[in-house]
């Protein structure tokens, strides 16, 4: 039977964590995502499923607790917001380097620095291009609704374990804080077993399980990097996700993810009321980025407006996809400000149609 | 008769009176001759073997000279980022409360970059064992000043001696964490004489037994030498350690609940 609830995005993340059979959550409070740990603590997941929830002394500690639990083959996750995610970059690099599965939620706020607690999309570069040191990628999913906040927790863990790679849900303060109807999936039991690579204590019957990202021999470290790159190519080939809204007859295109894509849906409606054929392309996986789908749309439309709550970050990937075939411009509000549908349409008219 | 003993006689299995601990791998130790790490590794492994818990044990290696501890110990291990071993160990212990979890850390790792993780793991009373090797210097990176470098002691980043007015005082982190209610057993040992080795082993054994009894965090500091970093011979290093390190870092139990 369907279980429907009205929930905040942050609460949906937390409820989904318990329901997908997560083993552990380690986190540190930061606005605008503190409801995740508050909800978990109030729910007593140690009684519901045996899931561990611990408030760490810092984001540096919480991501390293994730490393330890993930190294044991357990489903471990954390959530934070921009300044806290910056503190986690060291740990994320080690997790990527040790090929550990985990889920990290970034409820983005405006920066740089302490910035603002209002929503933003200015962590796109950090999330999709690596973030920490070394050649690595997180798999990045961008929900645009509270429903997707819930669903992507489960999908994120599945991807993390399938590829032994950290997964990030890149969302923002608007989706984290807003309330919507959510259809919750049924409780999935926590796994009784761990993957064969997990660090669980060495029985006499097998060799040691060592979780490390260290390889002093540069030849072997290069080989390891090539193995990682091969994995990333596989992820790029198989895990691209996107949504096309009214793109079939579109002459112009908005490209936007997350909260911006929600606002752009209204802009599409306003444009079509004026007789302008506009579609919306919503990348769902930001890494891997849907280059091919955008390239193929660039043969159909006359111009693209990239709409982001940043000074223009995803636009670089769109331009890579489009190969200068058509005009691609950016419109964004940032530092915690959000655009309204009419100003986005106006920007399309001035920058793309009239430009 | 003794004159007739050949090398072949000596290495006959029936003449074997001492062997490497089974839990050592075949990999030769990478530590400098005279360094305490090899002995301390051995004591940890002997304790795991004697308690029969090696299959339930997960170790955490730090960044520092013992970064490759997992190559020498025949148990499951995780290598942690610099200073983060107590957080990594927390993550492991929380998902596997019945397993034995220990960190093996040097002074730079535990008392400088990892101070927050150390203090908070101790304060939460994580039911783990911390082995803390204090030689007053950063060994692996080539002998830089550590948080535990003594006043006036020379290191590559304090070539004229540690000036406490500008460089701060050596941190007695072991005394500091003994104040926290989460720690149950806090001790300082050394391994430069057979007597001290026996005492250090007893302390490490107790630290793991405490874990079995769920007593909270046990913390064993081992004051050690770094003859390469201190730029003296192994014998001189031990002498210097006794004369200079021990007065500042006195040996013995600090807390035993």
B67 and A CB contact within 8 Å: yes
> What pLDDT digit, counting tens, does each position of B3-44 carry?
678 888 888 888 888 888 999 999 999 999 999 999 999 999
Q: How far apart are the CA of B140 and the nearest CA of chain A, in angstroms?
A: 13
> What pLDDT digit, counting tens, does each position of B92-109 carry?
999 999 999 999 999 999
- Choose the final residue of a domain: A188, A218, A238: A238
Q: How far apart are the CA of B64 and the nearest CA of chain A, in angstroms?
A: 12
Q: Please indicate, yes or no, whether residues A250 and A233 belong to a single structural domain of this protein.
A: no
Q: How far apart are the CA of B190 and the nearest CA of chain A, in angstroms?
A: 28
B92 touches B69 (CB < 8 A): no
In a domain, A214, yes or no: no
Q: Please indicate, yes or no, whether residues A41 and A100 belong to a single structural domain of this protein.
A: yes
Instruction: Give A-chain residues touching B67 at CB under 8 angstroms.
Output: 214
In a domain, A118, yes or no: yes
In a domain, B218, yes or no: yes
Instruction: Give A-chain residues touching B54 at CB under 8 angstroms.
Output: 201-202
Spatial CA neighbour of A25 closest among A5, A46, A9, A2: A46
Q: How far apart are the CA of A148 and the nearest CA of chain B, in angstroms?
A: 28
A52 touches A41 (CB < 8 A): no
In a domain, B112, yes or no: yes
- Could you give the number of structural domains in chain B? 1
ipTM of the complex: 0.97
In a domain, B68, yes or no: yes
Interface of B with A in 83-122 (CB under 8 A): 84, 87-92, 94-96, 99, 116-117, 120
**Domain carrying residue A131:** 3-196+226-238
pLDDT in tens, chain A (355 residues): 689 999 999 999 999 999 999 999 999 999 999 999 999 999 999 999 999 999 999 999 999 999 999 999 999 999 999 999 999 999 999 999 999 999 999 999 999 999 999 999 999 999 999 999 999 999 999 999 999 999 999 999 999 999 999 999 999 999 999 999 999 999 999 999 999 999 999 999 999 999 999 999 999 999 999 999 999 999 999 999 999 999 999 999 999 999 999 999 999 999 999 999 999 999 999 999 999 999 999 999 999 999 999 999 999 999 999 999 999 999 999 999 999 999 999 999 999 999 7
pLDDT of residue B8: 87
- Choose the final residue of a domain: A211, A238, A265: A238
Interface test with B, best of A72, A195, A209 (most B CBs within 10 A): A72
Q: Which of A65, A202, A212 sits opposite B55 (nearest CB)?
A: A202
Q: Please indicate, yes or no, whether residues A233 and A252 belong to a single structural domain of this protein.
A: no
Q: Please indicate, yes or no, whether residues A184 and A252 belong to a single structural domain of this protein.
A: no
- Could you give the number of structural domains in chain A? 2
Q: What's B112's domain CATH number? A: 3.40.50.970
Would you tell me how many other CB atoms lie within 10 Å of the CB of residue A216? 8
In a domain, A136, yes or no: yes
Q: For A65, list phi and psi in degrees, rounded to 5.
A: -65, -40
Q: How far apart are the CA of A201 and the nearest CA of chain B, in angstroms?
A: 5
A80 touches A108 (CB < 8 A): no
Nearest CA in chain A to B99: A201
Q: Which of A23, A60, A202 sits opposite B54 (nearest CB)?
A: A202
Interface test with A, best of B24, B64, B74, B94 (most A CBs within 10 A): B94
B146 and A CB contact within 8 Å: no
CA-CA distance, A348 to B52, in Å (whole number)?
Answer: 71
In a domain, B58, yes or no: yes
B15 touches B7 (CB < 8 A): no
Q: Please indicate, yes or no, whether residues A283 and A319 belong to a single structural domain of this protein.
A: yes
Q: Please indicate, yes or no, whether residues A122 and A69 belong to a single structural domain of this protein.
A: yes
Q: For A339, list phi and psi in degrees, rounded to 5.
A: -75, 155
pLDDT of residue B2: 57
Output the CA–CA distances (angstroms, integers) from residue B62 to A156, B24, B72, in the order listed.
30, 18, 14
In a domain, A7, yes or no: yes
Q: What's A154's domain CATH number? A: 3.40.50.970
The angle, 0 to 180 degrees and rounded to 10, between the axes of the packed helices B37-51 and B194-212 is: 50
Q: Please indicate, yes or no, whether residues A144 and A109 belong to a single structural domain of this protein.
A: yes
In a domain, A144, yes or no: yes
In a domain, A209, yes or no: no
∠ at Cα A229 (A225, A233), nearest 5°?
170
**Domain carrying residue B153:** 32-250
Q: What's A248's domain CATH number? A: 3.40.50.920
In a domain, A212, yes or no: no
Cis peptide before A112 (omega within 30 of 0): yes
Q: Please indicate, yes or no, whether residues A54 and A165 belong to a single structural domain of this protein.
A: yes
B23 touches B47 (CB < 8 A): no
Spatial CA neighbour of B32 closest among B123, B138, B139, B118: B139
Instruction: Give A-chain residues touching B87 at CB under 8 angstroms.
Output: 56, 60-62, 64-65, 67-68
B44 touches B77 (CB < 8 A): no
- Choose the final residue of a domain: A180, A211, A238: A238
Average pLDDT over residues B189-208: 98
In a domain, B3, yes or no: no
Spatial CA neighbour of A197 closest among A23, A63, A74: A74
In a domain, A311, yes or no: yes
Average pLDDT, chain B: 96
Instruction: Give A-chain residues touching B88 at CB under 8 angstroms.
Output: 64-65, 67-68, 71
Instruction: Give B-chain residues touching A213 at CB under 8 angstroms.
Output: 79
In a domain, B243, yes or no: yes
pLDDT of residue A346: 98
Q: Please indicate, yes or no, whether residues A233 and A263 belong to a single structural domain of this protein.
A: no
Spatial CA neighbour of A70 closest among A136, A28, A25: A25
**pTM confidence score:** 0.96
Question: DSSP letters of A151-190?
Answer: HHHHHHHHHHHHHT-EEEEEEEHHHHH-EEEEEEPPPPPP
Residue B234 has pLDDT above 60, yes or no: yes
The angle, 0 to 180 degrees and rounded to 10, between the axes of the packed helices B115-124 and B85-95 is: 30
Instruction: Give A-chain residues touching B60 at CB under 8 angstroms.
Output: 68
Question: DSSP letters of A265-294?
Answer: HHHHHHHHHTT--EEEEEESEEES--HHHH
Q: For residue B123, give the H/E element and its range.
A: helix B115-124
B223 touches B254 (CB < 8 A): no
> What pLDDT digit, counting tens, does each position of A249-302 carry?
999 999 999 999 999 999 999 999 999 999 999 999 999 999 999 999 999 999
Per-residue burial over B185-218, b if 16 or more Cβ lie within 10 Å, else e, is bbbbbbbbeeebbebbbebbbbbbbbbeeebbbb
What's the per-residue H, E or C state across A294-322?
A: HHHHHCCCCEEEEEECCCCCHHHHHHHHH
CB pairs under 8 A between A and B: 127
Interface test with A, best of B73, B86, B88 (most A CBs within 10 A): B88
Query: Which residue in this structure is represented by tokens 């357990």?
Result: A74
Strand, helix or coil for residue B109: helix
Would you tell me how many other CB atoms lie within 10 Å of the CB of residue B244? 15
Strand, helix or coil for residue B101: strand
Q: Which of A58, A67, A214 sits opposite B67 (nearest CB)?
A: A214
Using CB atoms within 10 A of its CB, is residue A1 exposed (0-12), middle (13-18) or buried (19+)?
A: exposed
């Amino acid at each position: 039977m369907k279980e429907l609830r009205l929930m905040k995005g942050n609460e949906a993340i937390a409820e989904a964590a318990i329901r997908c059979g997560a083993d552990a959550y380690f986190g540190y409070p930061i606005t605008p995502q503190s409801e995740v740990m508050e909800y978990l603590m109030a729910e007593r997941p140690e009684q519901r499923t045996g899931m561990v929830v611990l408030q760490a002394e810092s984001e540096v500690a919480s991501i390293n607790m994730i490393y330890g639990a993930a190294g044991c083959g357990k489903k471990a996750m954390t959530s934070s917001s921009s300044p806290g995610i910056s503190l986690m970059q060291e740990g994320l690099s080690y997790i990527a380097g040790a090929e550990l599965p985990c889920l990290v939620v970034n409820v983005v706020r405006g920066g740089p620095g302490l910035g603002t607690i209002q929503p933003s999309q200015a962590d796109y570069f950090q999330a999709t291009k690596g973030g920490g040191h070394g050649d690595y990628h997180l798999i990045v999913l961008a929900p645009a609704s509270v429903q997707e906040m819930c669903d992507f927790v489960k999908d994120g863990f599945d991807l993390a374990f399938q590829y032994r790679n950290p997964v990030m849900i890149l969302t923002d303060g608007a989706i984290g804080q807003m309330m919507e109807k959510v259809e919750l999936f049924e409780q999935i039991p926590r796994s009784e077993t761990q993957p064969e690579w997990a660090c669980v204590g060495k029985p006499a019957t097998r060799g040691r399980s060592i979780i490390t990202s260290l390889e002093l021999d540069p030849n072997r470290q290069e080989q390891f990097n090539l193995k990682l790159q091969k994995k990333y190519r596989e992820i790029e080939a198989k895990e691209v996700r996107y949504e096309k809204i009214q793109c079939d007859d579109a002459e112009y295109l908005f490209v936007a993810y997350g909260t911006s894509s929600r606002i752009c849906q209204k802009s599409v409606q306003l444009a079509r009321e004026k007789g302008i054929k506009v579609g919306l392309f919503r990348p769902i996986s930001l890494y891997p980025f849907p280059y091919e789908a955008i390239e193929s749309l660039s043969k159909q439309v006359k111009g693209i407006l990239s709409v982001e709550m940043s000074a223009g970050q995803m636009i670089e990937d769109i331009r890579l996809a489009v190969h200068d075939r058509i005009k691609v411009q950016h419109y964004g509000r940032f530092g915690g400000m959000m655009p309204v549908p009419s100003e986005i349409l106006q920007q399309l008219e001035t920058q793309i149609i009239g430009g | 008769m003794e004159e007739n003993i050949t090398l072949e006689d000596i290495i006959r299995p029936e003449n074997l009176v001492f062997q490497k601990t089974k839990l050592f791998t075949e990999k030769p130790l990478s530590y400098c001759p005279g360094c305490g790490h090899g002995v301390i590794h051995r004591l940890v492994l002997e304790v795991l073997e004697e308690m029969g818990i090696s299959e339930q044990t997960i170790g955490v290696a730090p960044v520092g000279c013992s970064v490759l501890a997992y190559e020498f110990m025949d148990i499951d291990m995780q290598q942690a980022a610099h200073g983060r071993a107590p957080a990594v160990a927390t993550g492991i212990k929380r998902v596997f409360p019945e397993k034995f979890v220990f960190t093996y850390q040097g002074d730079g790792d535990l008392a400088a970059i990892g101070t927050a993780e150390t203090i908070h793991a101790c304060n939460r009373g994580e039911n783990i064992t911390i082995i803390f090797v204090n030689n007053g210097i950063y060994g692996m990176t080539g002998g830089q000043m550590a948080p535990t470098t003594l006043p006036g002691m020379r290191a590559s980043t304090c070539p004229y001696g540690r000036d406490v007015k500008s460089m701060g005082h050596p941190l007695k982190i072991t005394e500091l964490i003994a104040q926290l209610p989460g720690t149950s057993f806090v001790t300082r040992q050394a391994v430069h004489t057979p007597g001290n080795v026996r005492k250090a082993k007893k302390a490490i054994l107790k630290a793991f037994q405490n874990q079995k009894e769920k007593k909270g965090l046990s913390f064993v500091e081992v004051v050690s030498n770094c003859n390469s970093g201190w730029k003296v011979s192994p014998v001189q290093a031990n002498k210097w350690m006794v004369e200079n390190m021990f007065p500042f870092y006195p040996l013995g139990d600090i807390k035993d609940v």
